[in-house]
Amino acid sequence: MAAFKWNIVNKTAFQWTLLIAFTCVVFFINIGGTGIYSAQEGRAAIVARNMLQTGNYLNIVIAGEPETEKPIMAYWFCAITGKVFGVNEFSVRLPSVIAAIITVILTCWLGGRIYGTGTGILAGYMLATMIGFVNLGRIARIDIVLCSFYMLSMIFLYLGYFEKRQANWRLYLFYFVLALSVLVKGPVSVVLAGLTVLAMALKERNWRMIWELKPVSGLIIGLVINVPWYVYESVRTQGDFAFDFFWNQNIDRFLGINTTYCEGKRKIFFYYFPKLFAGALPWSLLTPFCLYSFRKKFMSLRQDTWFLLTWTLAVFVFFSLSAIKRGDYILPLYPALAILLGRYLILVSEQSPKLTRQWKIYWFSLLSIMVIAAGLLKTGVLRQIGQLGIDQKIAHFPDRDGMSIIQTSNLLNQHFILLIAVAALLMGLLYMIGKLSEQGRILPAANAFLAVMLTFLVWYYLWLDPVTSEFKTTKPFCQAALTHLPEDAVIGYYGSWVDEAVFYIGRDYERCSKPSDFYDAEKQIFKFKFIISPESRIMQLPDEIKSRMEQLETTIPGHQYPLTLYRTKNQP
């Protein structure tokens, strides 16, 4: 018996080792190989550099002015990694990568705790290969850090109460981690956890549950952890942080009353349906089969499954009701979704006959999608869709997404024959995997599919992502611009605020919203020797101004963040 247990332990340890190695490859590969290209990445890099230069780790400052959009903890993580590796692409993204890996590990652990080791390991692999989760886990986004904290807090909520429906000391760890998550992104995580608890109480018709969860103790823990810094920052900014963060960044974004974010446009309620389906690919293709299989069994599902379901639905419904929506907001539901889909696959694999009808539908559906996509790509329809997005003729479709579609379609069309060959090989491999599953050989089938996914992700992040990133990052432009800029240069940024460009340029600067901010019309002189602006904005200026601006460097054609460096002349 002892030998048997030892073998089981060894097998489990080996499975964990493989999962962690697999996950590290997915999230670490080439994370420093492309320039940072999102506002959050640029903001994190600037704040981290300021913290290290000044030695002040309590203030969130950009260009000497308080930054009031987000709390401080995620910036601390970037400062710590920046201290070790220098503030660069790798160090700025490292906290997100670590958070993503931790989330995968926690997902595996919770799935194993609820349904067994097989489900847990499978759920970990599923999460580590969900396209949306992987993409957001490889860039410096606060949401992926929040996802990790939220995942850990929900584990403690499960262990502290829902596992045995009895409160224990782990509840205090739930409130502690949840309180820390408020320092990461604010009170949204508290709202999501509260909605999950309310949904469970409603489902079980047990309102005593709320009191049994010791909310007063949780409130005290939350206040002790969060009040000192939030009060400090609000006082330091003379109330600006409290107003902007709590009202503008949270309440007003949800209600959509006066917000200017995303041009103040309220997104439709169904915004997240396609977003989640695309983000959870390829595993989201299992969802219709899962829902159909359990269509008559929902009310008889075990309580642990309902805990995961309410967790998923609470996040999805809350953000669907929000006026302002972004794909990364729903990240906290991905771990629960991965566990549920992993459980479904395990149950299917235990049935007989094996997958025959379902697999054929799945395979032909995927084949149809790939054929349609190839047709849209080759005929130019995909490019036309991208152009409609750029022209803002498609509701809730960002223009930069349209530019990405055009750039990607151009690249893939250049290698269309190779693309078709790879797609055919992929479909052949998937057919083979399906056949293995039908024969009950689940482990070889799963290993083969994961090998395909790992190969695809490695290829994408080593080749396709760096190529398309050339149209998103301003790093090459900034490197060229630095050859013209002296150390003491003060830059005037006009008409476009690109955080990552400010980080890469690394010079003193001022933001200019109108021509009078950088040009004194009465004296006919420029206030700055150098100006960075989109060329389109400069072309709108009077001839007397733009004729005295010499273009030095510009981003490549089709860049999503077009910028041009100008040198000004004060003599006509």
Q: Which amino acid is at 333?
A: L
Tokens coding 361? 């539908």
Phi-psi region of 205 (alpha: psi -120 to 50; beta: other; left: phi over 0): left
pLDDT: which is higher, 331 or 352 = 331
| pLDDT at residue 244 tops 50 | yes
**Across 487-506, average pLDDT:** 87
Q: How high is the pLDDT of residue 572?
A: 58
- Which pLDDT band holds residue 440 (cuts at 50, 70, 90)? low
Alpha-carbon distances, residue 415 vs 404, 410, 468 (angstroms): 17, 9, 14
Rounded CA-CA distance 410/41 in Å is 27
Q: Which of 89, 107, 77, 111 is nearest to 28 (CA)?
A: 89
Give the percent of the chain with pLDDT over 70: 91
From the centroid of its chain, how far is CA 173? Answer: 26
Residue linked to tokens 């408020």: 182
At residue 65, φ and ψ (nearest 5 deg) are -110, 145
Could you tell me if 535 and 566 are in contact, meaning their C-beta atoms sit under 8 angstroms apart? no
Rounded CA-CA distance 176/370 in Å is 46
Rounded CA-CA distance 430/530 in Å is 56
- 86-95, 295-304, 353-362, 397-406, range with the lowest pLDDT: 353-362
Q: What is the CA radius of gyration of the chain?
A: 26
Domain ranges of the chain: 19-349, 356-469, 475-568
| pLDDT at residue 8 tops 50 | no
Q: Which amino acid is at 131?
A: I
Rounded CA-CA distance 77/415 in Å is 40
Q: How high is the pLDDT of residue 221?
A: 96
DSSP string covering 203-239, please?
HHT-THHHHHT-HHHHHHHHHHHHHHHHHHHHHHTTT
Rounded CA-CA distance 568/489 in Å is 13
Q: What is the mean pLDDT of the chain?
A: 86
302: number of Cβ within 10 Å: 9
Q: How high is the pLDDT of residue 12?
A: 80
**Across 427-449, average pLDDT:** 75
pLDDT: which is higher, 507 or 151 = 151
DSSP string covering 377-391, please?
HHHTHHHHHHHHHHT
Q: How high is the pLDDT of residue 338?
A: 95
| pLDDT at residue 92 tops 90 | yes
5: number of Cβ within 10 Å: 9
- Which pLDDT band holds residue 356 (cuts at 50, 70, 90)? low
Tokens coding 311? 């967790």
| pLDDT at residue 175 tops 50 | yes
274: number of Cβ within 10 Å: 10
| pLDDT at residue 382 tops 60 | yes
Tokens coding 31? 């994370």
563: number of Cβ within 10 Å: 22
145: number of Cβ within 10 Å: 26
Tokens coding 135? 């993409």
pLDDT: which is higher, 95 or 241 = 95
At residue 519, φ and ψ (nearest 5 deg) are -140, 125
**Across 425-430, average pLDDT:** 81
Per mean pLDDT, which of 175-184, 398-407, 490-499 is the most reliable?
175-184
| pLDDT at residue 442 tops 70 | no
Q: Which of 469, 462, 386, 368 is nearest to 423 (CA)?
A: 368
**Across 354-375, average pLDDT:** 76
| pLDDT at residue 433 tops 80 | no
**Across 148-171, average pLDDT:** 94
Rounded CA-CA distance 335/271 in Å is 20
Alpha-carbon torsion (259, 262, 263, 267), positive or negative: negative
* Interstrand relation of 530-533 and 490-494 (parallel, antiparallel or unpaired): parallel
For 24-82, the pLDDT digits (tens) are: 999 999 998 888 887 788 889 999 999 999 898 888 877 656 577 788 899 999 999 99
500: number of Cβ within 10 Å: 28
Rounded CA-CA distance 443/440 in Å is 9
From the centroid of its chain, how far is CA 129? Answer: 14
Tokens coding 167? 């409160």
Rounded CA-CA distance 330/320 in Å is 9
Q: How high is the pLDDT of residue 561?
A: 87
